[in-house]
Structure 1
C-alpha cells in the first residue's frame, strides 16, 4: 500500500497556487474578424443576365486556405498575426462577399453558392492567389488577387475569364488599420467582379440548352 505524508496534499496544493498552474489551461480567446456587409450603394449592373449563377468557393492552397490572418513581409515568407483570426477560411470569406455583391448588383436572375442543392445555368469558378498584408516601414499594403471564370454548366465551356488584382494601403501597421484595409480591398474586389460578371459577352444565346462546341 502506498502511503503519503500528511503534508503531501497541502504542500502540493500550495505549490500549484504559488506557480499559478492549472491542470487544464484555458487558451486565450482570439479576436474574430470579418468583412463588413456589402454596401447598399454597390454599383448596379446594366441589363440583367437571364440566367442563374452558382458561386463556387475559391480554390486556395495553404496557408491562404485557413482562418489565419497573414502578413508577407518578404517574397518567400509568411507570418501570422497573433491573437486574431478570420471567422472562416479566406476562401469562404471571399465566396460570401462575392455572392452578396452579385445579389446586390442584380446582374443575374438568381445567385446561389456551392452549398445549395439547386441547379444553376452558370458557375463562377475562382482561385484565390493572394490574401495578405505586406508590411512596410510605416504602413502595410493589403493584396488580394483572384482568378475568376464563368462556365456554362451544360457545355462546360468557359464564357469569360479575368484576373483581379487589388492593393489597398492601410493607415499604419496596426492590426485594426490592416483589417480596415482588408475590408476595403475586399469590397473593391467584389464590386469590380460583380460588374465584370454581369457584362460577360462570351455567353451563348441560351446556356440552358446544351450546345456542341468545337
Structure 2
C-alpha cells in the first residue's frame, strides 16, 4: 500500500465531516418556551375597599397544596379525553402550579383584608393553617372549546386544637374564549380568581376565622400546659 493510498481514508473522513456541517447548521432551532405568570383578572381595589383590615384578626398561614408530580411542575397540562396527560409544547408557567395557586389565594386574602396572612411560614403566633391537595390545574376539551379546570381539596386547621378543622372540595371550570394560548392563559387566571374568592368566603364563614386574634390567643392561653396537667393529675 502506497503512502497516497493510506491517506485516502483520512481525506474521505474529513470531506464527509465538512459536508455534514452545513446540513447541521440548517436544522431548525427549537424556539424558547413562552413563560407566563398567572393573570390577575380582578383589580386589587375591587375587594380591598369592601372590608377594613383587622389588625386583631386571626393569623392565617397559607401552605402550598400538595399535588402529584405532573402538576408539581411549570408545564401547562392538557388532559386528554382518554385520561392521558400531556404538556403544551412551548408554554411554561413562571412557577409550579401549587405555588401559583398558593400565591393567588394569598393575594385574595390580602385584598379582602380581614385576616393577617403568612405564606408557607412557621409563624408561631398563627392560629389557623390553610392546607390542601391540588387535584387538577389543567386544560380540558369539553365540546368544541377548551376549558380550564381547577380542583382543590382544602382544609382549614386550628393550631391550638389538635385534629380540629374543616375541609371542603372546590372546583371551578372556566371556558376559554378560543384555543389560542393567550386566551387559555387568561382562562387560568379567571378560574383561579373564582376559586380563590370561594375559598376566602368559606374560610371567613368559619367561627375560628371570625373570632379576633386576641380571642384565639386567649383560648390558647386558657389551655393547661402538659406539665400543669400532669401536676394536677398527680395531686388527685
Do the structures match in fold with TM over 0.5? yes
Aligned length: 207
Task: Label 1:203 to 1:75 Cα distance change in 2 as closer, same or farther (>3 A).
Answer: farther
Structure number having the greater helix percentage: 2
SS at match of 1:142: strand
Which entry has the higher C-alpha Rg, 1 or 2? 2
Deviations 1:53-107 (A, max 9, x none): 1101001113122211111121522122101111111000000110111111012
| 8 Å contact from structure 2 (residues 204, 210) kept in 1 | no
1:39 aligns with 2:43: yes
| 8 Å contact from structure 2 (residues 61, 118) kept in 1 | yes
Q: Give the distance between the partners of 2:23 and 2:175, measured in 1 at CA.
A: 48
Q: Give the TM-score, by structure 1 length.
A: 0.82
Task: Label 1:18 to 1:78 Cα distance change in 2 as closer, same or farther (>3 A).
Answer: closer
- In structure 2, the residue matched to 1:17 is 22
Q: Give the distance between the partners of 2:134 and 2:51, measured in 1 at CA.
A: 24
| 8 Å contact from structure 1 (residues 149, 158) kept in 2 | no
1:71 aligns with 2:78: yes
- In structure 2, the residue matched to 1:61 is 68
Picking from 183, 197, 208, the partner of 2:203 is 197
Q: Give the distance between the partners of 1:61 and 1:151, measured in 2 at CA.
A: 22
Task: Label 1:91 to 1:7 Cα distance change in 2 as closer, same or farther (>3 A).
Answer: same
| 8 Å contact from structure 1 (residues 159, 201) kept in 2 | no
- In structure 1, the residue matched to 2:3 is none
Distance apart, 1:145 and its partner CA: 0.9
More moved, 137-146 vs 13-22: 13-22
**Residue ranges of structure 1 left out of the alignment (5+ in a row):** none
1:149 aligns with 2:155: yes
Q: Give the distance between the partners of 1:72 and 1:56, measured in 2 at CA.
A: 26
Q: Give the distance between the partners of 1:149 and 1:47, measured in 2 at CA.
A: 24
- In structure 2, the residue matched to 1:80 is 87
SS at match of 1:151: strand
Q: Give the distance between the partners of 1:46 and 1:32, measured in 2 at CA.
A: 36
| 8 Å contact from structure 1 (residues 138, 172) kept in 2 | no
Q: Give the distance between the partners of 2:190 and 2:166, measured in 1 at CA.
A: 25
Distance apart, 1:152 and its partner CA: 1.2
